[in-house]
Amino acid sequence: MDLNFDLHAKQRAVFKSPARFKVCAAGRRAGKSYLAAVTLLIEALKEKNRYGINLRGKEVWYVAPTYQQARDIIWLLLKDLGGWGTSSSIIQTIHENTSTMTLINGRTIKLKGSDRPDTLRGNSIAYVVLDEYAFMKPEVWDIIIGPAVTDTRGDALFIGTPSGKNHFYDLWLSGGQNKDPDWDSFHFNSLDNPLISADELDKARARMSEDAFRQEFEASFEAAGGGAFASEHFIYAEAPLSPGTTYIAVDPAGFGKGDGMVKSNLKRLDEHSIAVVEVGSEGWFIHDMVHGRWGVRETSLQIVKAAQRYKCAALGIEQGSLKNAIMPYLEDQMRRLNVYPRIEPLSHGGQKKTERILWALQGRFQNGKILMKADQPWNKWLTDQLLDFPNPLAHDDGPDSLAYIDQISTAIYDHGWVESSYEPLDILSGY
C-alpha cells in the first residue's frame, strides 16, 4: 500500500518535530484525530527507533478518556487509513473485541481507556497517543504510562482540546518554554484545517457562548474551565470601601520527606496558600494571597510574616495532620519574631470542598462583595483558579484558603464556658 497521507501545514509541523514528547492543543475539527491515526500507523511500521532500539514486540497505543471514546474517535479511521479490506492493506489482522490491530510487520496498535487503569499497567510501549488529555487524571501519564516508555525510550503525543488551565495546560506550557529538546508544544485552531469553512464556524459562534467557542474551536486555555465564576465579577480596587477587621486563612499543601517540599504528581505542584482579607460592612477586600511550594520551615515563616505585616485579628489553619506538622515550626517562628497571632483551627464542617467554596465565594463575587487589591502579582494566579473551578483536574489552592475566611470571620470566640444564672449572696455588696 502506498502511504500518502495528506496533512495540512499545522499537522505537518507536529509530525515533523524531532521531539520525543509533543503537546498539541487543537480546536474541534482541526484534524487532531487524523494526525493521531497517521502517526500511530507510521510509528507501528517502524522496526527500530531513533536510538537503534529494536521495537519488535513493543506496542503502540492510542489512549482516550474512556475505551468507548477511543473506539468512537479513531477505530474506523485507523482501519480506513490502513487500507483494511483492500489488497494493499498494511493491516494483517484485527481483533474487534479488544480493538487491537496487527500490522504486516507483526507490530500491534491497541486502543485503551484511561478510566480503566489496570489495563494500562505492565506493558512495554514504544509510542502512545493520549487524546483529550485534559480530561484524564494526570496520574495516567505520571505514574502509569510515562514509566512504561522509559525502557524503550519511547515517544508520546499529548493532544486534545483545552479544559481550562489544568495539567494539560501545564504540560503544554512547559513544552513550549522548556529548553529540553525532548519536548515541544503546538497550537492550532479549527480554521487551520482547510476543510472547515469560515461560515460553519460563524454559525457555531452565534449559538455558543464566547468562552465555549474559544475553548472548543480556538483551543483557548484562557476560556473558563469550570463555570462557577465569571471574569466580569472580578473587581479590583486600591483600598477597601470601608474599614474592617483583617483575618488570615491558611490552606497548607502536603510536605514531602527529606527536603520538606510539597509532594504531588502534577506537573504544577499543589501550593500552600495564605489568604489575607479585610472584612468590613461593605464586603471583603483581599489584601494579599501568599502562595508557593515551600518546606515546612519556610511555610511557617511565610505565615508569621503575613500575620506580622497585616496584624490580623485571627489566623486560621486547616486542621489535620498538616496543621500538626506546621505548629512546632510556627511556634518557633512566633517566638523568634515576637509575633503572636491568635491561631484558630479551621474545619470543612462536613461539607465537600466544592460546596464550601461555592457557598463562601460565589454569591459574594456575583454581588460585588469581594474586591481584590489591584495590580498584584497574585491576581492572575487567583482568578485563573477561580475560572477553572470546580474542574476536578485543576488547582484550587487559592479559592480553598479564601473560602475559609468566611468561617474564621464569622466564628464566635468565647471563653469556653457559660454561666446560666447569677444570684448574689449579699444584695448590697453584689457578691
pLDDT digits (tens, 9 = 90+) for 37-49: 999 999 999 999 9
pLDDT digits (tens, 9 = 90+) for 255-306: 654 333 333 333 446 789 999 999 999 999 999 999 998 999 999 999 999 9
Name the residue with higher pLDDT: 273 or 188.
273
User: In the prediction, which pLDDT does 319 show?
Assistant: 86
Among 59-73, 78-92, 259-273, 392-406, which is the least confidently predicted range?
259-273
User: In the prediction, which pLDDT does 260 show?
Assistant: 37
Centre a 10 Å sphere on the Cβ of residue 238 and count the other Cβ atoms it contains: 9
Hey, is 413 helix, strand or coil?
A: coil
State yes or no: cis peptide before 252, omega within 30 of 0.
no
The mean pLDDT of 389-398, rounded to a whole number, is 80
Among 82-96, 183-197, 394-408, which is the least confidently predicted range?
183-197
Alpha carbons 4 and 321: distance in angstroms, whole number: 60
The mean pLDDT of 91-101, rounded to a whole number, is 95
pLDDT at 28 over 80: no
Among 54-68, 342-356, 402-416, which is the least confidently predicted range?
402-416
Q: State the average pLDDT for the chain.
A: 83
DSSP state of 191: G
Helix then strand count (H, E) for the chain reads: 15, 15
Name the residue with higher pLDDT: 157 or 430.
157
The mean pLDDT of 207-229, rounded to a whole number, is 60
User: In the prediction, which pLDDT does 262 show?
Assistant: 33
Please tell me the number of Cα atoms within 13 Å of 267 on its side-chain side. Answer: 19
pLDDT at 95 over 50: yes
Residue with cell 504510562: 145
Query: What end-to-end distance do the CA atoms of the chain give, in Å?
Result: 106
Handedness of CA 131, 133, 134, 137 (dihedral sign): positive
pLDDT at 170 over 90: no
Alpha carbons 102 and 106: distance in angstroms, whole number: 6
The mean pLDDT of 208-216, rounded to a whole number, is 57
Residue 86 C-alpha from the chain's centroid: 44
User: In the prediction, which pLDDT does 296 show?
Assistant: 93
Q: Which residues pair with 64 in a beta bridge?
A: 113
Q: Which residues contact 354 (CB under 8 A, 6 or more apart)?
A: 389, 390
CA-CA distances (angstroms) from residue 302 to 291, 323, 347, 409, 412?
9, 14, 21, 21, 27
The mean pLDDT of 5-18, rounded to a whole number, is 86
Please tell me the number of Cα atoms within 13 Å of 84 on its side-chain side. Answer: 18
| Short-list 401, 362, 381, CA closest to 229 | 362
Domains defined for the chain, CATH in brackets: 9-216 (3.40.50.300), 231-410 (3.30.420.320)
Percent of the chain with pLDDT over 70: 81
Among 175-189, 214-228, 275-289, 372-386, which is the least confidently predicted range?
214-228
Query: Is residue 188 within a helix (H) or strand (E), and if so which, with residue range?
Result: strand 183-188
The mean pLDDT of 373-402, rounded to a whole number, is 88
